[in-house]
Amino acid sequence: MERRRRGEAVVGSKRGEHMGDIRRGRETGTLGKLMALIDLVALADDPMRFTDILSQSDQPRGTLHRQLSHLVEEGLLETDRDGRYLPGIRLLNLASRSWARNEFRTVAEPHLRLLQAQTGETVHLGVLRGTEVIYLDKVEGRQSVRMYSEIGNASPAYCTGVGKAALSALDDISLEARVSGLQFHAYTEHTHRSVADLQADIAAIRARGCAFDREEHENGICCVAAPIRSDDGDILAGVSVTGPAYRVTPEKLQEWAPLVRAAAAAIMQDIRSRLGPRR
Amino acid sequence: MERRRRGEAVVGSKRGEHMGDIRRGRETGTLGKLMALIDLVALADDPMRFTDILSQSDQPRGTLHRQLSHLVEEGLLETDRDGRYLPGIRLLNLASRSWARNEFRTVAEPHLRLLQAQTGETVHLGVLRGTEVIYLDKVEGRQSVRMYSEIGNASPAYCTGVGKAALSALDDISLEARVSGLQFHAYTEHTHRSVADLQADIAAIRARGCAFDREEHENGICCVAAPIRSDDGDILAGVSVTGPAYRVTPEKLQEWAPLVRAAAAAIMQDIRSRLGPRR
DNA sequence: AAATTCAGTTCCAAATAATGGAACAACATG
DNA sequence: CATGTTGTTCCATTATTTGGAACTGAATTT
């Protein structure tokens, strides 16, 4: 009668907390199963052999084979010379358009640049998606390392400045709904360990108007972030200034807080006028 | 069973003309139809309303509605506040992984940096896909503008240095197969107008070991590029040095040609040793 | 205010594509 | 050579997608 549920049992295992997604309920049929496969391959640390995928997706061999063939055919996956599966460059191509014309990002960009100029440190823009933050943009200073590696990246909301800031813009009920049942991974000794920890922090963030990340996600990295929210609650995001702990001292964080809040406010103002209210 | 490679007949030459819309959808069943929709939305210059999509995909209303719902559900598309469809950020997220762990790109990266340091101009790495080039990486000098906008971008092979270089690494038969029937769009007054033009250029490129682009794609932009090919022909790509015509004079192009060829050679060598022969 | 168009949504029998089991290659490995 | 491992193909069964039509709801016209 009921076919087995896709996704759930399959994808999550690898690295704890991916998929804070809120897509319980609706099924997307064939597409959902294929996306679960893409996720599986894309999230893996190495190219996957057919058998690896077979063991982690509970599809029968024949079915899986056809599914993968279709994905390869469409360029969403590729095979290396050993026949192992990798994410395909078609994804890159689709993403570049998604990025270049993202309205929110476009509107925010000048403010990110200003904030970068004011602080001299790296500025991030990220949107909340479920309980993860996806970085939409990044403006770096002089010592530019690699850019792309961060854009499009998903990180847990509970241990990043942008993520916590965005969460703080939710009302209590929505917040509770999102974070309850969250798995906390101890990235550093400062990472929040429980929902209670997180909620306490978020109360402080609300009072203060900005979030701090003092080496919660990565040792030696600190940031200040402020929440961005559209009036209709459609956009839930954050902007942050990030840098190495030795440069970004607690005093600096305090000093930058107003600037970051101002940037967030300016972005919200621009959203209001440029993107307009719901028509 | 000899499936045909997709892309060939499809590749739009221009931005505006979203390829044959519903390409031969049947190849990958449901997925193919959905991907055609994503393409449609991603290639459009503006968000599309339901009706816009309806008129350009020959699906019945009910079907289209469900398809779009599924795509939105999976985050591949999004709707703005007017209900119009846009590419979704999930694409960005998937792509960032695709990019960060792309073996070829990773291997090439240090050589791109070296070439950038040697010339001081922007260095590109692109792979050939059908008759388009997709840019995999970019290393810029001082006056860094925006990065992401180029990575993942697809451009016609016939009017870009990287594209022509990559094409030159094909044997005559494969080349003929790819470029015959190609539509030539006159981006500038120097853009090739016909297969014959292109083939003549490619003969020269083969003899010379590198390709020039003297304002063929964009006015005021010139480049030198060299082909990259793996022994098994699996990888077909190119590396280039690009800059504004006033800085990148014909003499400079000549001067850099050996450097670009050397970079390409070094990348090929690394591919040979690092990615190893077919196991 | 009623009528008409337009834009989007829902429904369900019929068409079609996906499924899953099993058999089949192709290649290592003991 | 026997045996296991990995990947591929086939096809009756079954589930999913399809497409036409009917419905909503909002804007525009009469």
Distance (Å, rounded) from C-alpha A96 to C-alpha B153?
6
* pLDDT the model gives residue A273: 82
Q: What is the pLDDT of residues A204-228, one digit of tens each?
A: 999 999 999 999 999 999 999 999 9
* pLDDT the model gives residue B185: 95
Cβ–Cβ of B134/A86 closer than 8 Å? no
Residue B148: which pLDDT band, with cuts at 50, 70 and 90? low
- Cβ contact B70 with chain C strand, < 7 A: no
Per-residue pLDDT, averaged over B60-67, amounts to 91
Select from B245, B203, B243 the least CA-distant residue to B220: B245
Q: For chain B, what percent of residues have pLDDT higher than 70?
A: 85
A12 in contact with B at a CB cutoff of 8 Å?
A: no
* pLDDT the model gives residue A270: 93
- Cβ contact A81 with chain C strand, < 7 A: no
- Check whether B26 has a pLDDT greater than 60: no
Domains of chain A, start order: 8-88 (1.10.10.10), 102-275 (3.30.450.40)
Q: List bases in chain D with any atom under 7 Å of a protein Cβ.
A: 5-11, 15-22
Residues of B in contact with A95 (CB under 8 A): 87, 91-92, 94-96, 152
Determine how β-strand A221-229 pairs with β-strand A236-244: antiparallel
* pLDDT the model gives residue B275: 66
Task: Round and report the angstrom distance from CA (A2) to C1' (C14).
Answer: 22
Per-residue pLDDT, averaged over A61-81, amounts to 91
Q: What is the pLDDT of residues B156-176, one digit of tens each?
A: 999 999 999 999 999 999 999
Phi and psi at B50, nearest 5°, equal -50, -45
CA atoms lying within 13 Å on the CB side of residue B18: 17
What mean pLDDT value characterizes chain A?
85
- Check whether B35 has a pLDDT greater than 80: yes
- Check whether A257 has a pLDDT greater than 90: yes
How many angstroms separate the CA of residue B81 from the nearest CA in chain A? 6
Helices (H) and strands (E) in chain A, counts: 10, 8
Residue B214: which pLDDT band, with cuts at 50, 70 and 90? very high
* pLDDT the model gives residue A252: 93
Got the DSSP string for A50-63? HHHHHHHS---HHH
Q: What is the pLDDT of residues B254-278, one digit of tens each?
A: 999 999 999 999 999 998 887 655 4
Distance (Å, rounded) from C-alpha A38 to C-alpha B220?
40
> Of B27, B81, B151, which is closest to A234 when you measure between CB atoms?
B81
Taken in order A13, A19, A25, A27, is the CA torsion positive or negative? negative
Determine how β-strand B122-129 pairs with β-strand A122-129: unpaired
* pLDDT the model gives residue B154: 93
* pLDDT the model gives residue A275: 66
Amino acid symbol at A24: R
Q: Which residue of B has its CA nearest to A37?
A: B94
* pLDDT the model gives residue A3: 33
Query: Would you give the DSSP letter of residue B166?
Result: H
Task: Round and report the angstrom distance from CA (B49) to C1' (C7).
Answer: 9
CA nearest to nucleotide D15 C1': residue: A3
Which structure tokens are listed for A200? 């306490």
Q: What is the pLDDT of residues A143-175, one digit of tens each?
A: 554 555 688 999 999 999 999 999 999 999 999
Q: How many residues does chain A have?
A: 279
Query: Would you give the DSSP letter of residue B157?
Result: G
3 state SS of B249: coil
